[in-house]
Chains A and B, each alone.
Chain A
Amino acid sequence: MSGSPPWSSSRWHSSQAGFVPHHATSNSTGRLEVASSPPDVQRSLSAANIAGHSSLRGMRRLEARRQMEEANFLSSKARSQNLNPPIDLRMLDYVTAYDDNLMCPICRCPFLDPVVLAECDHCFCRDCIRQTWASTYSPLGPRGDCPSCRTPAKLGPRSATSKILVNITDDLLVRCPKSEDGCKAQVKRGEVQDHVNIYCGYAYMECTADDCELHVLRKDAAEGCLHFGVSCLDCRQSMQKASLETHWRVQCPDRKVSCELCKEAVFNREWDTHSRETCPAISIPCPGKVFGCNSRSKRSQADVHAKSCTFAKLTPMLTAMQQRMDEQEAAQKVMVRKLEVLEGGFQAVQTILSTKQEDPDQVGADESRIPLLTGRPHQRGDSGGMLDAMVVETDVGAFVFPPPSSSSRPSSELVHVRAGASLPPLYSAPMAPGPRPADLPEPFTMDFDMASPFPPPAANGPYISPLHHLLSMHESLRDEMSRMSAALQELDGRQSMQALNENLRTREEISYMAAQVAGLSRQVHWLTSAQLQRQQHGGAGRQAAGAAGPSGSDIAGAGAGVEAAVSTAASALRGAARIVNAGQGMTMRRGLSEEGRTKL
């Protein structure tokens, strides 16, 4: 309000020195001139009144009088409205709390001229329900849906509620609408218009001076006409005497007003800062408010309270802890993300392992992962230990608290480093398998389903930790290995039995052949000796010794040749038998070597 006044102050140069009678100022035509006519009308009306009474000149005269009275009434009403506009009863401040049931659900004020909808018994102010239905015009009168329950309803002429409700709401105490200007009156709501119109010292009325048409506050009316120019002694601003009081109370920047709370006089221009910040009587919350102290104390006594209040004492510490907790929370978020990455890594391990399962060539490649049939407990312990160490390290990383001294430094950095350090062994183990042994066994076919012990990861269910997951996989691999070895042993046995049977049959055949050959050899021997005897008989008898000699020796040589051939065949048979035996041994060795490879 300390800004430039709505009129130009330069016009008032001449009157700055002090009081100047208002008659000295120039006339101007304004809307107040309209309001100034009624007194004349009134005077002429009373004259007409007297004239009418005395003469009684018939209906026309009476009619004219009635019209004049009406005009008079309307104009005086218009003037009083101009001075004191009708009070908007919804804008009033209620002194005491009122029952919520007395409140109109639309304007949230105590009912004003309440009406009840016959269709559903809901109650509203007449104006409120009219305005609600303003958009749905009907020639049969206001109608629409009830705002509370949407029942179609209408406003009949007999919708008014009982007098009791009207009386209760009209008897509620309100502050005078001029309370901002200084009126301290508290009146019943039903009487507030009368208060302003008739009694309120801060309502306007016509100036008592006969020749003055301006209005003054009712309380100043007795002081005569105050409509002359003055200038404020404090700020040198020009105004009328009638408005000086208001100027001093609200506007004048160089005038002191007394603070209602601390009883101190404060300059108007400093009032904003005083009421907001510096007033010692304004109650401020305890510094420990956020931690639970609900006490408020006056600014001047805030220190006293802070000394005795546990919350206020703990506030610095609690604030620091709060800050630390926030940091921890941020760090934990980082850890959660890390954990997700780790779990992703384990998933990768799992997929790698199950693909290796389908290609057994690679299973053998990573010797350290797959224990041999004998168990090799030390190696399993080693890998388990490594995993244990990893998990422990991760845990430590997630839950480590920074030392109190380093509270300012975010601990997430520390955690990050630790988590990063624990990552490499995890990734390197499955990703980069160790060097392959030189003597890789060739892939062998399997007559049983090897993928079955590794159900898909999703069906495996959640494991307590990745370590458990790996261990369980390890376990099932070992089972698989023992099944495999049992199967191989069975196969081996069957194969050696088959070889044995085959050998027996071959040996029998060989011995049978050997017997035949021996029979043959005996026959040949008998034939040879029989031939020799015959030759000796014939040669001796007929002296053909010269011719027979050579032929006899020929036959003897042939017999010896047959004998030699038969013995060669026999030795060949023996050799065959040896070979069969040797073959059996070879099969056995092969079986053993295959078993050995499988075991590898």
Chain B
Amino acid sequence: MANRLGAMSSASAANQGAKSAGNPSRPAANGNVIKRLQSELMALMTSPTPGLSAFPAGSDMTKWNATVTGPSDTPYADLTFKLTLSYPANYPYAPPEVLFKTPIYHPNVDMAGRICLDILKKGGDGSEGAWSAVLNTGSVLLSIQSLLGEPNNASPLNGEAALLWDRDQTEYKKKVLARHQEPEDVEAADVA
């Protein structure tokens, strides 16, 4: 008959096999999320895209830091912006949450760094989201980079910026530069 030792043995097996496949103590989906994120990271490292970078923030694979450099010929040229990405447990069936950490003056980004972009919203019945499971970190960052040069002024989060974009590009650029902070300064502010 089963005894205490048996229970102990299975407990220790579960303990030592924390990383082994199909461990019942962890949800299987989570393992798949991490596996997929590892695969994305590998792809980003082996074929990097100029102006974009992304890397896990720490030991937690589902929280990443990223940087995006503004495209040339836009008011954001040569500026670098820091972002954070947070992947849900049902990634890639739901989009990651992306936030600007560097303050940015843009029609589709609010003061808290939240981004209004269709591919960052989950689609489905009635909703306008355009997230697709085949999108990944690289394609999301690429979309954000192109959003810098081509804002969607029809549905702005920052109405003033949307108006100024159409009216006075010189003044717009001034505002962008006034709002922007170097990533090092942002870090210093975070520490303080």
Contacts and interface: CB of A to CB of B under 8 A. Distances in A.
A424 interface: no
A148 B22 contact: no
Given A148-B134, A243-B13, A108 B6 contact: no
A488 to B, nearest CB: 47
B19 interface: yes
A554 interface: no
A289 interface: no
Contacts of B35: 90-91, 107-109
A26 B1 CA distance: 10
A86 interface: yes
Given A1-B16, A105-B134, A148-B134, A87 B22 contact: yes
A78 to B, nearest CB: 14
Interface string B1-22: 1111111111111011101111
Contacts, number: 123
Interface stretch (A174-182, A276-284, A367-375, A443-451): A174-182
B178 interface: no
Nearest to B12: A243
B98 to A, nearest CB: 19
B155 interface: no
Interface in A405-457: none
Given A7-B11, A106-B134, A134-B93, A92 B21 contact: yes
Interface string B145-170: 00000000000000000000000000
B2 A85 contact: no
Interface stretch (B24-32, B61-69, B100-108): B24-32
B16 A91 contact: no
Nearest to A122: B134
Contact of A181 (B20, B22, B32, B136): B20
B93 A36 contact: no
A150 B136 CA distance: 16
Interface stretch (A27-35, A63-71, A394-402): A27-35
Interface residues on B, range: 35 or more
Contacts of B28: 88
Greatest chain A CB density within 10 A among B31, B32, B92, B133 is at: B133
A85 B14 CA distance: 12
Contact of B9 (A28, A181, A214): A214
Nearest to B2: A32
B16 A28 contact: no
Given A246-B12, A246-B16, A88 B32 contact: yes
A347 interface: no
B58 interface: no
A26 B28 CA distance: 35
A68 to B, nearest CB: 23
Interface in A5-25: 5-7, 22, 25
A180 B22 contact: no
A32 to B, nearest CB: 4
A214 B40 contact: no
Nearest to A28: B4
B114 interface: no
A240 B11 CA distance: 12
Given A7-B11, A91-B31, A131-B93, A25 B22 contact: no
B39 A106 contact: no
A136 interface: yes
A213 B2 contact: yes
Contacts of A150: 132
Contacts of A190: none
Contact of A227 (B5, B22, B31, B133): B5
A362 interface: no
Interface in A143-160: 145, 147-148, 150
Nearest to A251: B16
A136 B93 CA distance: 12
B25 to A, nearest CB: 11
A33 B125 contact: no
A403 to B, nearest CB: 29
A90 B3 contact: no
A108 B40 contact: yes
Contacts of B132: 147-148, 150
A196 to B, nearest CB: 9
Contacts of A1: 15-16
A141 to B, nearest CB: 17
A383 to B, nearest CB: 36
Given A87-B21, A108-B39, A213 B16 contact: no
Given A6-B15, A26-B4, 15 more contacts: A22-B5, A25-B5, A28-B3, A28-B7, A30-B2, A32-B10, A33-B1, A86-B22, A108-B35, A108-B136, A109-B35, A132-B133, A180-B20, A214-B9, A239-B12
11 contacts: A28-B2, A28-B7, A30-B7, A36-B1, A106-B133, A136-B125, A180-B17, A213-B6, A227-B9, A243-B9, A251-B16
5 closest Cβ pairs, A-B complex: A32-B2, A105-B134, A108-B39, A177-B21, A85-B22
Interface of A: 1, 5-7, 22, 25-30, 32-33, 35-36, 85-88, 90-92, 105-109, 128, 131-132, 134-136, 145, 147-148, 150, 177-178, 180-181, 204, 213-215, 227, 229, 239-240, 242-243, 246, 250-251
Interface of B: 1-13, 15-17, 19-22, 24, 28, 31-32, 35-36, 39-40, 92-93, 123-125, 132-134, 136
